[in-house]
Chain A
Amino acid sequence: MLSEILIDIQGLSFSRGDRPIYRAMNMQVQRGKVTAIMGPSGIGKTTLLKLIGGQLKPDSGKILFEGRDIPRLSRSELYQARKKMSMLFQSGALFTEMTVFDNVAFPLREHTKLPESLIRRIVLMKLEAVGLRGARDLMPAELSGGMARRAALARAIALDPELIMYDEPFAGQDPISMGVIVRLIRELNNALGLTSVVVSHDVTEVMSIADYVYVVADKTVIGEGTPEQLRNDPSPLVQQFLRGEADGPVPFHFKAAAYQDELMELTR
């Protein structure tokens, strides 16, 4: 029987040098659902995805993927686990020296021994799913930002992963391609039976597609629930973030000496 929980993060702590990014954080991702992780920029959302992917090792805590603790896996076990997950990077991260077709075919050629004719069929199917079958012979540099992200999405689903992690999929998109990507995430999740983790700070888009949302700030989860539950969350921190208010519990000003004192200092 498959467990309902695909990713279980328990007591995760992680620091970059002396700077703590996460402290004793807990989080769970349900299988088959779209789970969103929201939080202000620089809070460590990309870092969290890299921790789940095993590119970074936590200082302490567990990151269970299908019940196996990612940081404890051996190198070959980790590579095995990574074949079941894929990550859509913020920039798309298409290989610049390959065509769109070869980009999508890359994971298939690396990890399967399928004949080229079959690979071709799979690649075209994946490209069709993101609406880029006609762009297969273009180089990544010839794609618009939105198209590049969709091409990267086709590559990410090439091996039919269990889990797909989106890093800021909406950042820097025009309204149309934003809508396209929102729809794609939802459709792929339902049609392919994927589990999706969406990291973002675009509140409206996230609230419209997520089944469950975590709000991360101050090194840990400050609020969680379905979008409906979150809108009614009493925490002022969560409300500030959801409404996008400049000042509140999260201060607008970077920590500094009192303004008056500094002005006085200048006149002295």
Chain B
Amino acid sequence: MIADRLQRIGHSTISTVAGFGRAGLMLFGALLGKPDFRKGFPLLVKQLYVIGVLSLLIILVSGLFIGMVLALQGYNVLVKFGAEGMLGPLVSLSLLRELGPVVTALLFAGRAGSALTAEIGLMKATEQLSSMEMMAVDPLRRIIAPRFWAGVICMPLLALIFNAVGILGGHLVGVEWLGVDAGSYWSAMQANVDLYQDVMNGVIKSLVFALVVIWIALHKGYDAVPTSEGISRATTETVVTASLAVLGFDFILTAVMFGG
């Protein structure tokens, strides 16, 4: 009984560690060696489009609505203390420090991460990766690396766009609709937001989330069982694992950045 359970724990521990090892090797193989800019740059641009530009719409819409909801909820509380002038800082700080990076990463995992896993899993299942290897072209360099860099570049930018749109959404609801003074919305925001403490820390957060999400998405695709069920399972796993990892890292980073 107990031996059985111990064995199961041991087995899952070993396979988890082995999974980390394979994921590490994959990234290592993709990023090691001198990059070939002549061939790599067009591939990167294409992925920037696929991963970044195509995620733009969902980021814009979500950012707008989150900003509007924040303003609405925040106003209802602040107005009780006659502090509706602080709506600007409330909206902007919530977005910059937390919601921008986190929600962007979650949306990114759902939109781009799942698509990447499915794409690479499918390339594996249809032997495209194998045949590339047989043509003496390394699929890690050719397929994995440009997607990795594109994700790492895109996500912080998407998070910044999310923040900007969210702040505008807050303005829309707070100022245009609920009648908070426009001057105080913006000037209180200016006075309370610190470039390093708030903006940069948010960017660092989303950079970390980008690494985590894109790494998980690429690894799950590359490691997928090359069948239809295998790919669908890998896609689900990407969204679940990446989302949980983002929330976990968010707590750790928040504790380090704002805890003291």
A residues near B (Cβ < 8 Å) are 50, 53, 55, 79-80, 82-83, 85-87, 89-91, 93-96, 106-107, 110-111, 152
Contact = CB atoms under 8 A, between A and B. Distances in A.
16 contacts: A53-B133, A79-B136, A79-B138, A80-B136, A82-B134, A82-B135, A85-B134, A86-B135, A89-B130, A90-B127, A93-B127, A93-B128, A94-B128, A96-B122, A96-B128, A106-B137
Chain B interface size, as a band, is 10 to 19
Contacts of B136: 79-80, 82-83, 110-111
B16 interface: no
B126 to A, nearest CB: 5
A80 B136 CA distance: 7
Contacts of A93: 126-128, 130-131
B134 A55 contact: yes
Contacts of B134: 53, 55, 82, 85-87
A91 B128 CA distance: 9
A151 to B, nearest CB: 12
Contacts of A50: 130
A29 B74 CA distance: 77
Mostly helix, strand, loop or mixed at chain A's interface?
A: mixed
A87 B137 contact: no
B131 A55 contact: no
Contacts of A107: 135, 137
Contacts of B131: 87, 89, 93, 152
Contact of B126 (A53, A91, A110, A111): A91
B20 to A, nearest CB: 21
A94 B123 CA distance: 10
The 7 closest A-B pairs by CB, nearest first: A93-B131, A93-B127, A82-B136, A89-B127, A79-B136, A87-B134, A107-B135
Contacts of B133: 53, 55, 82
Nearest to B46: A97
Contacts of B126: 91, 93, 96
A90 B126 CA distance: 9
B238 to A, nearest CB: 20
Most buried by A among B122, B123, B133: B133
